[in-house]
Structure 1
């Protein structure tokens, strides 16, 4: 088990496995830790030559190629800041991230680069097209003089991860080397990852949850098998092909995997010895179903925030008796339940989840106003003190200190494990001539967590044209499941759209 050493290191030191042990497994075969280290060193040399300015941002818009997996380490070694872009995003979202981050370089593929239009790429951004279009192999990202492991200050910025907020376009969360390193150590420790483990990486590397699978596995000396999948069947086959022992997912994926056909009764399913969940709460029924389908697997429910990486986990031994719990603080995190007056909530009393300690990010990139709203001084009773993340999520603690999620205070839509800004959807819906006003609402859905319903002021006859445009402008997971047409939308006393009333009306009708 990885020791809980609180001393952070530069994140490019995270390749801790035996030299001849596999670090990455894909269709091209296995890349050993020694080979991965050598590739990181050469990529870092190429980056340092291409982008000589220390602290400059370099973006990747790639599926899970080897470059996509190793670039977070190579960028850090070159003294740069990595900005991973979700490959599911379309040109408008990519253009926003490139401009907002001030990226000096974008590493992508020809097919993706071809979708970008004039003005999408800032003049100062170099675009490097990697010809390695498949899910395996090294592609052609430049070869440079091998750089040694970095001696960066652990508190220096290492990555910017873009996440949706309740208003506006995605915002960049600033993560230091220490955030990433201690997150890797914490997860590897409490999951008990060992060198023999093979972790199937199905989550996007632009998510903190997906990226940490790389870092925590490598810190423990284990192998990661990155996978871009289209159907649950792809995941089933990959478990068998790579001999996966560990799988991280979100509730919609578990629903699909429970419905999928697994070969040889439970032989393939029984390979999995560890399941981890975040991005939404598991229901008691889903816990029972996962137990039955994956009899050899320990189940780890978790709760996380991009702004503080991960906050809580529930040990497997406590899951059956507490199927609706999100557990207690992970190592290096102080998690508190805080009343509206700033005092500690009593047992059984709901309050806001507040996270303090060294996993707390450094705020939002170039956005001091929103940083001040979410990153505030820890409560007076905090042991860690300093700046804390105030989540906006309501939780309640029981007598054993286990937390249960109660609700979300903002209007975020959480679908298929993605946190989506209603305003971003609304801006896309009203960007054309089909709709005059729109409100996006999340409605409970057994498979997705929530599905997106848009209430639009306009004519229903415009729906075909609207959907065609949205298909071009928004990624699949942001497409409305339903569009409800209204001649007028209700307003509150201030003349603003009455979102609460619309949400209540819509949920009463469509659920």
Structure 2
């Protein structure tokens, strides 16, 4: 009989081996691997007694708290499907998601203390005996929904294990590392910091969010942080704190970035604040976790690249007929490997658009992103499928315009969109996040980047873009503010 290695197997193995070692520091409290395993078994016993069945969904909308971690592992221990969702979802989106998932249990922020109040009498002797194999559904992660309704991405045990192994390999993670995470747990980038902790037996310092950067920046030295997962907005926050006082981060060996492309400006900030740390610029989609990374030794000369495929994955460029393209030819980015998702939850039509199979049954992800590859095998992101538009009678690459705008020292981030007004008049709008106030000189500098006959209709400048909880730009809210300001 084949032995199937599932996510709870390494969780239990690590908790047994490192029983008395501190696994987590959260809200000024420490938790050992043994304590966490005991609490997980208690909640798993509760789920079992209340008839949580194989593949039943458990919605966890409790945010970055200890209970989220316990609930995630207890769900998997019962062969359930863990669904960690954004606590900041509107009531409308929350209802749509829960109606689709039909969860057996649903926990929200109101249930944060439910564990302590209800499970003290439950046994921590729950025995994990799974009916699943590694290709079965384990987690449903939802896309950010930055441009619409979030989609549920179905991930198997094998998907997650393969991603853990590959990312751990190139980051060289060990049980001696200490990770500081301010990322939300409903964001796969945040959830994987939890998974790394239990996969390697390393210490995780978890914050509720990225607010109060002075507090968690101080912890970086106090806790000897060695790995710091970032997005560009977090890099900016750290720089703002470090400008106010000189701080040295001797223990930090590794900075990672994904979610949004790290710019040359952000790289320079990291190198100034963390001169001893390697910077890993990474690229991925929720549908396959991670695609590629730029090795730190190549970052200076390949800073515009999304990198090379990570271990266990293949990447290539295809034309509209499915033919593979060579170097310097633009086409759709395609990914194949064990991290490619099972599909979208209850959305077969979108799944069929995205997921194909090769002649031996390997899953292939059609990303919908346009890219090209250089002679060295490094890939370059050119934009989403809708990032080349027709504007004033000619094609315009919005991604190329964004690249030129974001290299300006005065620009932190930028977003461009095409707005159609009620009278069907189209307007090209440029949104700029900048620390300087908008004036005619700054506006002219932005306009000069565009071709003479394709100038944007309006330039909107703000000190801070509204953000989703994962740090990405809230594009819908940004666009609404720009339209209202025009």
Normalised to the residue count of structure 1, the TM-score between the two structures is: 0.73
What's the secondary structure of 1:260's corresponding residue? Answer: helix
Contact 2:146 2:473 in 1 (8 A): no
Query: What is the alpha-carbon distance in structure 2 between the residues aligned to residue 222 and residue 440 of structure 1?
Result: 51
**What's the offset of the Cα at 1:239?**
2.1
Shift of 1:375: 1.3
2:380 maps to 404
1:160 matched residue in structure 2: 140
Q: Which whole-Å deviations, capped at 9, do the CAs of 1:242-293 have from their partners, x for residues lacking one?
A: 33221111112212222223686232x3332211000111112221221111
**CA–CA distance in 2 between the matches of 1:438 and 1:80?**
50
**Structure 1 residues 254 and 485 mapped into 2: Cα distance closer, same or farther (>3 Å)?**
closer
Where does 1:100-499 land on structure 2 (aligned, <5 Å)?
100-110=100-110, 129-131=111-113, 139-140=116-117, 142=119, 144-145=122-123, 146-151=125-130, 152-164=132-144, 168-229=148-209, 230-261=211-242, 265-267=246-248, 269-378=249-358, 386-410=362-386, 443=430, 445-446=432-433, 477=474, 479-480=477-478, 482-483=480-481
Partner of 1:25: 25
How far off is 1:141 after superposition?
5.8
Distance 1:163 1:344 in 2: 28
**Partners of 2:239 and 2:226 in 1: CA distance:** 17
In structure 2, the CA distance between the partners of 1:163 and 1:43, relative to structure 1 (3 Å rule), is same
Match of 1:12 in 2: 8
Conserved? CA contact 1:175–1:361, under 8 Å: yes
- Matches for 1:36-51 after TM superposition, within 5 Å: 36-51=36-51
Give 1:504's aligned residue: none
Provide the residue aligned with 1:452 in structure 2.
none
3-state DSSP of counterpart to 1:87: coil
CA contact (8 A) 2:52 2:104 kept: no
State the Cα distance separating 1:82 from its structure 2 match. 0.8
Partners of 2:270 and 2:6 in 1: how far apart?
37
The gaps in structure 2 that reach 5 residues or longer are 389-397, 400-414, 436-471
3-state SS of paired residue (2:119): coil
Local SS of the residue matching 1:341: coil
Residue 298 of structure 1 and its aligned partner are, at CA, apart by 0.9
Alignment size in residue pairs: 416
Deviation at 1:147, TM superposition (A): 1.9
Question: In structure 2, how many angstroms separate the alpha carbons of the residues matched to 1:395 and 1:280?
Answer: 16
Secondary structure at 1:272 match in 2: coil
State the distance in 1 between where 2:146 and 2:38 align.
Answer: 42
Change in 2 beyond 3 A, CA 1:336/1:263 = same
TM-score when scaled to structure 2?
A: 0.77
Give the CA RMSD over aligned residues. 3.6
Whole-angstrom distance in 2 between the partners of 1:440 and 1:234: 43
Any idea what SS the aligned residue of 1:313 has? strand
- Cα distance in 1 for partners of 2:281, 2:354 equals 25
Conserved 8 A contact 2:431-2:482 = no
Name which structure has the greater RCO, CA cutoff 8 Å, separation 6+: 1
Asked if the contact 1:236/1:262 (under 8 Å) is kept, the reply is no
* 1:301/1:438 CA distance change after superposition, 3 Å: farther
Aligned to 1:276, the other structure's residue is in SS state strand
Tell me the residue number matched to 1:464.
Answer: none
* Shift, 1:482, TM fit: 4.7
